[in-house]
Amino acid sequence: MSPRTKRRLTALVPALVFAAAVLAAGCASGTPSPTSAGSPSTSVPATATTQPVTSATVPITVPATAPSTTSTAPARRLGTQTMVILGNDTREQTVTGTGNSDVIMLLRVDPEQDFLSVLSVTRDLWVDIPGKGKDRINAAYRLGRAPLAMSTIESVFGLHVDHYIELGFTAFSDIVDSLGGALVDIDRRYDKTPYWSIDIYPGYQVLKGSDALRFARFRFDQNSDFGRMSRQQRILAGIRQQAAQWDLDTKLPGLIQLALGWIGTDLSAADLQDVVTWIVGLGGDRIKQAIIRGQGTMIDGNAVVVVDPSVLRAAAQDFMTPPPAAAPEPSATPPAPGGSTPDLAKWKAAQAATTFPLEAPAYVPAGFALVPAVPPGGAASPGRRYTIPAETGKQPAVRMVYRYKGSDFYLGVTATPWTAAPVAAAGIQVRLDGIVYTVVGTSGKVHHIWWMSDGVLYFLSNTVMWTVPQDELLRMALSMKPVGD
């Protein structure tokens, strides 16, 4: 094994444990439905000015090949348990620190019912910290490290937390760099604000550690902390997809020992090995993702999120409940044949500057419109043309971006001749006119849909908070046709 491969696999262990929340290499099932503020949801938070996109058509079933809902991973000694992942915001060069917990993710590992559940908790949730009084939930880590953070979570959600994993800023950045970067699907242009330094363009690309950290912690848009949690999940989904292409085999036990230097945890090396091995073999349809949402307000001069305790307990109950035993087949309303392509002139301009064929949608969900992928001051083009560094060399790609009204929700259409890209992951297959469309995501949440044609990989990416339902994404994907036609 080469030193480079060893570094990647060593970093993979904590990355996979930390990324357990977003194992998106499996298949999507179902459609996220809007819920009231305060409940786990993929809809627009209550503080946003827009509403999630919904289907205005009566969907018809498209023949599909549904995935198996039973994990092929062998039986392990791993038992059912709940863990909390704490990403602390200390800047010190240590595994743990004295800062607040910038990331709080609850993981329900249940090999008996063969599912993984993840609940991302906003750090600004206003709670009663045992023995300390009212404060944001992220203050519990600063006031009493992992033990107080765990007891606070137990008190708030009414569930038992068995184990913890701590990861600091420096560790996160170093892990990503040790992997050779993280392949992440970036939804839009992220430019610096008066409060945050960031410079990332839209598109499926490799982020180095420092950029991945800036992207993961960005919260200065209409989606606030809820979008930040979704971005963290998007990064880690990319890491998991990369890992699916690597050869772990018998290397994992020794690498676990090395990986323990990256994280703080009360899990043993054997426990970590069981968790990671089980995670790698789990299908996406057996993974649940949810985000605690609520109403933002000011208390004692602090911006906080308030959620009714009964809603938090209901979220905890759903967190402990496995997904449906069988994933429903995808459905969509195919667009009428011969429909015109919106913004065809802009697509033709992008095609004229590209050496491989592009496909454009004849149908776009209501409220979305094509916007420049590179804003004024950048290259004058309706789309972003760039290259993706891969082990086989730099791979060309084109990204076109659709924005929902004046919101911070963006759909992305990407084309690249790199047909082996990790984003072409396993999923539910929908066949139409000789083309296989693969729906990728976790239970109830569609991340993207990909297909191949004439040696080009195309994929349609959902918004950062998965606001577009599966049937609408499929309808858009099925409407794609060559720009030259």
Q: Are residues 270 and 410 in the same domain?
A: no
410 found inside a domain: yes
Mean pLDDT (whole number) for 47-53: 30
What is the percent of the chain where pLDDT is above 90?
Answer: 43
Q: Are residues 186 and 308 in the same domain?
A: yes
Residue (of 319, 263, 325) closest to 109 by Cα position: 319
Task: Please report which confidence band the pLDDT of residue 326 belongs to, taking 50, 70 and 90 as the band edges.
Answer: low
Find the range with the poorest average confidence among 139-153, 163-177, 234-248: 234-248
Find the domain containing 469 and state its range: 331-482
Complete DSSP assignment for 86-153: EEE---SSSSS-SS-EEEEEEEEEETTTTEEEEEE--TTBEEEETTTEEEETTHHHHHHHHHHHHHHH
Residue 26 neighbours by CB under 8 Å, 6+ apart: 67, 282, 283, 284, 285, 286, 287, 425, 426, 427, 440, 441, 442
Residue 29 neighbours by CB under 8 Å, 6+ apart: 285, 323, 324, 327, 328, 428, 443, 444
14 found inside a domain: yes
Q: Are residues 92 and 203 in the same domain?
A: yes
Q: Are residues 91 and 46 in the same domain?
A: yes
Task: Please report which confidence band the pLDDT of residue 103 belongs to, taking 50, 70 and 90 as the band edges.
Answer: confident
Look up the CATH number of the domain holding residue 346. Answer: 3.30.200.100
SS3 154: helix
Q: Are residues 201 and 313 in the same domain?
A: yes
Look up the CATH number of the domain holding residue 241. Answer: 3.40.630.190
For residue 324, the 8-state DSSP code is P
Which of 5-19, 178-192, 264-278 is the most confident on average?
Answer: 178-192
Q: Are residues 293 and 352 in the same domain?
A: no
Residue (of 421, 425, 400) closest to 411 by Cα position: 400
- pLDDT tens, 198-241? 899 999 999 998 999 899 888 878 887 778 777 877 887 787 78
Q: Tell me which H or E stretch contains 317.
A: helix 309-319
Q: Are residues 89 and 166 in the same domain?
A: yes
End-to-end CA distance of the chain: 48
SS3 letters across 227-273: HHHHHHHHHHHHHHHHHCCCCCHHHHHHHHHHHCCCCEECCCHHHHH
Mean pLDDT (whole number) for 14-28: 38
Q: Which of 261, 294, 319 is the last residue of a domain?
A: 319
SS3 313: helix
276 found inside a domain: yes
- Report the sign of the C-alpha dihedral through residues 254, 257, 261, 267, in that order: positive
324 found inside a domain: no
77 found inside a domain: yes
- 456, 44 in Cβ contact below 8 A? no
Mean pLDDT (whole number) for 460-472: 93
Cα angle for residues 338, 342, 345 (degrees, 5° grid) = 105
- pLDDT tens, 245-279? 766 655 556 556 656 777 788 988 888 878 877 87
Q: Are residues 50 and 108 in the same domain?
A: yes
Would you state the pLDDT for residue 330? Answer: 65
The answer on pLDDT for 32 being more than 60 is no
CB half-sphere exposure, 64, CA atoms < 13 A:
23
Q: Are residues 244 and 338 in the same domain?
A: no
Return the beta strands (E) in 187-242 as ranges.
Answer: 203-207
Would you state the pLDDT for residue 58? Answer: 28
Which of 62-76, 231-245, 408-422 is the most confident on average?
Answer: 408-422
Q: What is the count of structural domains for the chain?
A: 2
pLDDT top residue among 403 and 262: 403
- 430, 444 in Cβ contact below 8 A? no
